[in-house]
Amino acid sequence: MPRVEERLREIGVEIPLPPVPQGAYQPAVISGNLIFVSGQLPIKEGELLYRGKVGSEVSVEEGIEAARLAAINSLSIMKRELGDLDRVKRIVKLTGYVSSAPGFGMQAKVVNGASEFFYDVFGDMGRHARAAVGVYELPFGAPIEVEVIAEIS
């Protein structure tokens, strides 16, 4: 069994089918030895599981779970594009956009849901550069959107 798939099984994560794009874009683009994964939302089985602004309608804990789910969806895109997640050599950059209630300032804590997921799956190769940005609105009322750049073989 491939190494990454084995690790996912150990931590109880099943990679779903990739979400269907909700606009005129590619879910991922490969350029050289990098894969750029378009922003992913906390969608499961075609349904947005969380909706609203973190700090008002969505709790910090729910935001963390939403970020983790968006990261899982990013991996599902990589698996479809690459065929084998063992081709992912390193998570290079993660950007998390958090739909934030006025005065909310814990975007970094929310985006940790995605960062910690990648650490759990890839170990040291899951450590990445990162931005955690508070925004007013995200598509479909999602509380978080995550985009990923990874080095591949």
- 1 has a pLDDT exceeding 60: no
- 59 has a pLDDT exceeding 60: yes
What pLDDT is stored for residue 77 in this prediction? 98
What pLDDT is stored for residue 45 in this prediction? 93
DSSP per-residue string spanning 41-84 = -SEETTEE---S-BTTTB-HHHHHHHHHHHHHHHHHHHHHHHS-
pLDDT per residue as tens digits for the range 15-42: 999 988 888 999 999 999 999 999 999 9
pLDDT per residue as tens digits for the range 68-82: 999 999 999 999 999
Furthest CA-CA distance within the chain: 47
pLDDT per residue as tens digits for the range 87-129: 999 999 999 999 999 999 999 999 999 999 999 999 999 999 9
Distance CA 70, CA 75 (A): 9
- 43 has a pLDDT exceeding 60: yes
Q: How many residues does the chain have?
A: 153
**DSSP run (H or E) holding 28:** strand 28-31
What pLDDT is stored for residue 2 in this prediction? 78
